[in-house]
Chain A
Amino acid sequence: MNATAPSIEALANQEYKWGFVTEIEADTIPKGLNEDVIRMISAKKNEPEFMLEWRLKSYRQWLKMEEPQWPNVHYPRIDYQDIIYYSAPATKVGPKSLDEVDPELLRTYEKLGIPLKEQELLAGIAVDIVFDSVSVATTFKAKLAELGIIFCSFSEAVQEHPELIQKYLGSVVPHSDNFFAALNAAVFSDGSFCYVPKGVRCPMELSTYFRINAKDTGQFERTLIIADEGAYVSYLEGCTAPMRDNNQLHAAVVELVALDNAQIKYSTVQNWYPGDKQGKGGIYNFVTKRGKCLGDNSKISWTQVETGSAITWKYPSCILIGDNSVGEFYSVALTNNYQQADTGTKMIHIGKNTRSTIVSKGISAGHGQNTYRGMVKILKSAAGARNYSQCDSLLLGDQCGAHTFPYLEVKNTSSQVEHEASTSKIGEDQIFYCRQRGISSEDAVSMIVHGFCKEVFRELPMEFAVEAQKLLGISLEGSVG
């Protein structure tokens, strides 16, 4: 009766589809890190003095810091002198329009499913693209500029809007925040910048696609988004990388600032190369993301779908300073094969009547290890603060693990904190039940997983939700049994 046995094993591990390498001329500096390298990066970007000072200050701080050992992940020590800190597609001058972008690069984005030209015309999503370390194209810029919205590469913002950079850079994630954030501050080469002026509601989704292409490079990009009083912006971020045998480091920093009555919605679909079935290769995704609800009644909402990377270390957080401000964190993190994820959030309540919601869905399959780590901190000043946390874990198979580390710290008596958690397992009997009703194994798994994740998916913008669902399906195929 072999023919009727689920051929789940055979379906296992559909290949990573985004693993191609683009042959493109790159401007790369030698491996290793020292002050000269930092000066070189800063000089290449023609940065003002304050930027170089900030980088050097960060580097000196970084030298004194220790790589964090507390996450529930395991990997060999990283040799920081064996990484290339700057790689950029070789173009003499930054492109003025898409026509000036290397066609090979545009083809890469088409393979990734981002037909820039079409998108520019049809989809109504403004895209900034970061290839290796450098931002190569930003669509829709002119249209956004009419509303006073600045959406451009970080480098360009440094040149064109130094006053905004100087004011907000490091204001949410200080240069000395943590080991990886300090490293990023020292060597980051590009990223995205967005400023939405007072009272403006950004009429389209803004989007950045990150791609690591060159070998042995680390990617250190930085995103800074500022929503001025009463502004609204929804921002999407996607990531892919080629398949490589060695591990590559991605240490990004994202800073969000929301002023009075402003709202920022930040969505991520992270699909960095996760390594092969034996756990060889893959991206180390060590990222610091934090939002500051500086103004009263402001709101920052993080939604993430994490399916890629060999190791994910990431805690998109909210500092709720303004009274009545709101922080949200919706997460689906999936680990399959030998992937490890230690992810969660921090909600720091400082202002009165601040509210936060945490919904975390961890899915573990294969030998994957999935950890939720979250902190809810309610300071004495945060009278009437409320938090609701929900952490659910779903296990597929018996080789994987799910771990939950919630930290709650409440310093006043007028606040309310709720925490709910559950762990469940997709069983062979559930799959069989579905199959007996005519539904294939793969469809059954994706149906159950989708049911498990739907509270998070409904927070994603429509087109991203569809993509996220597909990604989960692909990442999980064959993982039951």
Chain B
Amino acid sequence: MALLEIKNLHASVAGKEILSGIDLTVNTGEVHAIMGPNGSGKSTLAQVLAGRDLYQVTDGQVLYDGKDLLNMPPEERAQEGIFIAFQYPVEIPGVSNMYFLKAALNTIRKRRGLEELDAMDFLTLVKEKLALVEMDPAFLNRPVNAGFSGGEKKRNEIFQMAVLEPRLAILDETDSGLDIDALKIVANGVNQFRTRDRAMIVVTHYQRLLNYIVPDQVHVLANGRIVKSGGKDLALELDQSGYAGLEEAVTA
């Protein structure tokens, strides 16, 4: 079934249009990759889906699980099961990972009609998930992302995803800044997360990540539109020919 339906989505920032009519349907159980050159609108799409108010939606509709997504505040989208693994996760000094994640998990559980987890049950859960991304439990007591290396921040995003168990995960350039070992660890975490009732959108500039997270569909974004869609082979094709030809096709 369709988990996410994006119809003719237009969005702009400070009066400048970035998304110029996106149409995309993502069904449960599917992984969609969105590729494209810098400035094509990939990250904007992720931010708009998250509800960042820097971007104004000027036209179009987004249905998430049949509900009007654009009318939900960001926290409600998160509680409904949308998760963004950010390209640049922010630092929150003074707030421990543990405290932060427990607060997040419990608001989400509350929304789902589940009981809040107490400290003991929570600890059991996070320890299990930490192993998934091969992180040291000592990390739980460190402040959120503060003083983390680029790779640690990305791993932390995937760790949070594993704990919060969203239905739709959007990975925004999760591969950038990762060395090959970290990339494998992250991809492994993501792959364990794939199930039939979840879906994922993987935003990436490079094909490399898609060797490890194999998509069901690949879309190419250029100048705010999806200019080409195909299977996983499309990514390989792009890796060889580049984006240049596609951009010309649109602007011509």
Contact = CB atoms under 8 A, between A and B. Distances in A.
A111 B101 CA distance: 36
A424 B107 CA distance: 27
Q: 5 closest pairs, A vs B, by CB?
A: A451-B94, A437-B104, A438-B78, A451-B95, A435-B74
Given A439-B104, A451-B143, A6 B95 contact: no
A6 B73 contact: yes
Nearest to B95: A451
A416 B127 CA distance: 42
Contacts of A170: none
Interface stretch (B32-40, B49-57, B183-191, B212-220): B49-57
Nearest to B103: A439
A429 interface: yes
A438 B55 contact: no
Interface string A1-26: 10111110000000000000000000
Interface of A: 1, 3-7, 424, 427, 429-430, 432-441, 443, 447-448, 450-452, 454
A427 B92 CA distance: 10
A87 to B, nearest CB: 43
B75 interface: yes
Nearest to A441: B75
Given A4-B73, A448-B94, A436 B57 contact: no
A230 B212 CA distance: 69
B100 A447 contact: yes
Nearest to B50: A436
Interface string B88-113: 01111111100111011001100100
Contact of A437 (B55, B73, B100): B100
Contacts of B93: 424, 451-452
Describe A's contact surface by its main secondary structure: helix
Interface string B151-174: 000000000100010000000000
A429 B75 contact: no
7 contacts: A424-B93, A433-B86, A434-B104, A435-B51, A435-B73, A436-B83, A440-B75
Interface residues of B, number: 38
B103 A430 contact: no
A424 B146 CA distance: 12
A363 to B, nearest CB: 12
A443 B78 CA distance: 15
Contacts of A438: 75, 78-79, 104, 107-108, 111, 164
B71 interface: yes
B104 A1 contact: no
A473 to B, nearest CB: 14
A447 B99 contact: yes
B79 A454 contact: no
A433 B83 CA distance: 11
A443 to B, nearest CB: 7
A5 B51 CA distance: 8
Contact of A443 (B51, B57, B103): B103
Contacts of B73: 3-4, 6-7, 435
Nearest to A426: B92
B111 A4 contact: no
Interface centre among A430, A437, A448 (most CB of B within 10 A): A437
B70 interface: yes
A450 B107 CA distance: 18
B92 A451 contact: yes
A5 B53 contact: yes
Contacts of A440: 75, 107
A437 B78 contact: yes
A450 B99 CA distance: 11
Given A437-B100, A438-B75, A439-B107, A429 B90 contact: yes
A150 B24 CA distance: 76
A430 B90 contact: yes
Interface in B201-238: none
A6 B74 CA distance: 9
Contacts of B164: 437-438
A275 B84 CA distance: 41
Given A437-B78, A438-B79, A438-B111, A447 B95 contact: yes
Contacts of A451: 92-96, 99, 143
A438 B72 CA distance: 12
B95 A4 contact: no
Interface string B103-129: 110011001000000000000000000
A452 B94 contact: yes
Contacts of A3: 70-73
Contacts of A7: 73
B197 to A, nearest CB: 19
Contact of A436 (B56, B70, B78, B103): B78
Nearest to B70: A1
A161 B57 CA distance: 74
Q: Which of A424, A436, A448 has the most CB of B within 10 A?
A: A436
A318 B242 CA distance: 70
Given A1-B51, A4-B70, A424-B93, 12 more contacts: A4-B71, A4-B73, A433-B90, A435-B74, A435-B75, A436-B51, A436-B77, A436-B84, A437-B78, A437-B160, A440-B75, A450-B95
